[in-house]
Chain A
Amino acid sequence: MTEAAAATLARDRTLNLFAKPMTYVTGKGGVGKTTIAAAMALLAADQRRRVLVCELGSDGHLARLFGRTIDHEPTSVSPFVDAANFSAEEGLVATLTSVLPVERIIRAVVQNRVLQMFMETAPSVREAVLLDALGRHFQAKKYDNIIVDLPASGHAVTMLGVPQMIMKLMRRGPVAKKAEALEAEIFDPARAQILLVALPEALPVQETIELSQKLVAATRMGQVGIVLNSSAPHLVDKKEQALLDKIKQEAAQGSELRRHALHLLQAAERDEKALRELAQATGLPVFRLPRIEDANGFQDILGIAKAALASYVA
């Protein structure tokens, strides 16, 4: 498949981002997950959807992007858009309340220093509490769409597997039941989907393909597509490619013309390769988001990313 054909393929398909009320965004570290998640939220707001964009206990990517503090409780960051960064510490009492029978016991557990230490260090307690916080907001139906900025690849797969792991571990009892209900709610394939983010470079493409395959095995949720972030900002067609090749041959070594022609060609080739490999290995539609060369500040980045995403969304 040529790059142009792949681009057409991507253009023909529209990205159905908001049909399902829950979207999980993930990908290799540093590919721009948070930017895509936030841009998606702003785009949903443009369509007059009430939307929550949230992180699960991160060190504050959304806060940096929106230039304000973002905590456990959703707070408005833009008309129609709320943002939250769920915290395991703050969500613990609410989660305990949903599995423990008596308030007196909950208080005893929360106030006991040894049990507190156990909760802080025990495997998966943190993840379960974060997912439970997400589940509460999903169930409340206050938002038309919830966009979750998941951690990077491996951690995302672990996170999505937490309810199942709890069910396997505990088999019966209220906690296992709770985990089962949570899984049916927030990972329901009819209501939730996954969006992957990649970059047009060898290592991120490879990791995205592996991630996509792992997610097929780990969850019943479908993957709606791959956003190829930082793709070449200038498309070149076959004829232009041929001419660029000729310039490469004819222009003087070290000349500015030759250098920039090479750059343009290389960017196009990298994109083409990434599009082809991603599409072939995953069967998913790939949507290119051009590299933002010269955005000034985070507001600018979000605006450009939103506009680029909008061109694909029905």
Chain B
Amino acid sequence: MNEVIDQTLRGAELVVCCGAGGVGKTSSAAALGMTAASYGRKVVVITIDPARRLAQALGLTALGNDPVQVALPETVPGSVHALMLDPKATFDGMVARTIKQETLQRALQGNHVYKLLTNAFHGMQEYMAVERLFALLEDKRFDLVVLDTPPTTNVLQFFDAPERLARFFDRRIVRWFLPSGEGSRLKRLLSGQSAAMLLIQKVAGEDFARDLQEFFGTMGGLADALSQRAAALGGLLARNSTRYVVVTGPEESRIDETLAMVELLKRRAYRPSAVIVNRVTPETMAPEIAPAAFTAPAALLAEEHSLFSMLAQKLDAQRSALLRRANLERAQIDRLRARLGETLVRVVPRLDVELDSANGIFVLARALA
């Protein structure tokens, strides 16, 4: 196995894949899973909002929190399961565990604020991924979890999601919106929370104010559970068996983004164990040879020769452009290596397969390892 990939997978229990959108993060996460499986690991890959065809390639047809087995060649000793995170179902499940009374649960389902929170909370997907993560790490069917993080604008948003959600349910916020049972009516009128509710009634409407009160009244107890999760995640992310992989491309802007991302990770004391530079022009890795002119194959007919000379010009233009591109990419990869060290960077060439089948991803896995 390639050394960079080997050091990433050996002894790993959790592999967190980070990267900007469009670099092949999800397919790389799946390929890493397959690589691990070919070394006998029992892997589960958590994906979030993958492209439909990629989901199909992994045998996933619908959102669901139950892992589905991915079809692999029989020679592979391990196994890969995958699941497409369903944030709403995960959240409902968590609420059901925390709030035991059925009447309260039913009231929540009709509550507009609750609906909004499950659909639009900034970081809800990220948080729910964390919830699933803990469940799967406990699952005896698997010995390695590969997590494909959602394409956030900032990688830290993912790690901060539980804390953020916990802050939303902070006691001070909850108390603000709750009808206070204590004190005289006059005292309540003069107190802050009353003024806040009046203000919300005024600007956001009475219905909303009622929904908000009901929501915080029911969900207020979630704060403790969420804070515990946030703390547990902090511990999990700092474990030695948790590995970080940054997926990127060879373009200047990608390398810039990657270096910035690695810095952010390091600030949290998370050190990436691999940076995968994906879809590199194959010429980048070939030795430079002065190109010779294209000559027509002997089998061409006489009348095809003039067309060939025109085509040869296009082929030549294509080749020179590719070689120039290869030079630029090589310079970018060198820059990355100079900053991060040789032992971190794994370069994967652009493959001539579409990643819309399990076989396509298996080809990527072989190139990776």
Contact = CB atoms under 8 A, between A and B. Distances in A.
Contacts of A100: 199, 203
Contacts of B322: 263, 293
Contacts of A29: 20-22, 151
Interface stretch (B33-41, B268-276, B295-303): B295-303
A57 interface: yes
Interface string A152-189: 10100010001001001111111110000000000000
A165 B119 CA distance: 10
A207 B56 CA distance: 13
Interface stretch (A133-141, A219-227, A249-257, A306-314): A249-257
A263 to B, nearest CB: 7
Contacts of B199: 100, 105, 109
B315 A261 contact: yes
A65 B251 CA distance: 13
A115 B292 CA distance: 70
Contacts of B124: 123
Contacts of A250: 297-300
A123 B121 contact: yes
A88 to B, nearest CB: 10
B324 interface: yes
Interface stretch (B128-136, B161-169, B178-186, B334-342): B161-169
Interface stretch (B110-118, B138-146, B217-225): B110-118
A251 B297 contact: yes
A123 B122 contact: yes
Contact of A203 (B53, B122, B249, B300): B53
Contacts of B202: 101, 173-174
Interface residues of B, number: 71
Nearest to A241: B311
A154 B49 contact: yes
A291 to B, nearest CB: 9
Interface stretch (B3-11, B88-96, B99-107, B349-357): B349-357
A121 B157 CA distance: 12
A282 interface: no
A233 interface: yes
Contacts of A239: 307
A246 B324 contact: no
Interface stretch (B61-69, B75-83, B204-212, B228-236): B204-212
B307 A57 contact: no
Interface string A217-238: 0000000000000000110100
Q: Taking each of A28, A168, A293, which has the highest tally of chain B beta carbons within 10 Å of its own beta carbon? A: A293
Q: Taking each of B23, B173, B315, which has the highest tally of chain A beta carbons within 10 Å of its own beta carbon? A: B315
Given A203-B356, A244-B311, A293-B324, A123 B117 contact: yes
A117 B253 contact: no
B52 interface: yes
Q: Taking each of B201, B297, B324, which has the highest tally of chain A beta carbons within 10 Å of its own beta carbon? A: B297
Given A115-B196, A126-B122, A296 B315 contact: no
A207 B52 CA distance: 7
B105 to A, nearest CB: 20
A30 B21 contact: yes
B300 A176 contact: no
B304 interface: yes
B154 interface: yes
Contact of B321 (A122, A246, A294): A294
Given A64-B253, A118-B176, A250-B299, A152 B321 contact: no
A154 B120 CA distance: 11
Interface in B231-290: 249, 252-253, 256
Contact of A158 (B120, B172, B314): B120
A175 B205 contact: yes
A58 B20 contact: no
A231 B344 CA distance: 32
Interface string B300-318: 1000100110110011011
Nearest to B357: A202
B58 interface: no
Contacts of A69: none
Contact of A201 (B121, B297, B354): B354
Interface of A: 28-31, 57-59, 61, 64-65, 99-101, 105, 109, 114-115, 117-118, 120-124, 126-127, 151-152, 154, 158, 162, 165, 168-176, 201-204, 206-207, 210, 233-234, 236, 239-240, 243-244, 246-247, 249-251, 256-257, 260-261, 263-264, 266, 293-294, 296-298
Given A152-B151, A174-B204, 4 more contacts: A114-B170, A239-B307, A250-B298, A264-B314
9 contacts: A64-B253, A124-B116, A165-B119, A173-B204, A173-B208, A174-B203, A175-B205, A240-B311, A294-B325
Interface of B: 20-23, 49, 51-54, 112-113, 116-117, 119-122, 124, 151, 153-154, 164-165, 167-168, 170, 172-173, 176, 196, 199, 201-208, 211, 249, 252-253, 256, 291-292, 294-295, 297-300, 304, 307-308, 310-311, 314-315, 317-319, 321-322, 324-325, 328, 352, 354-356
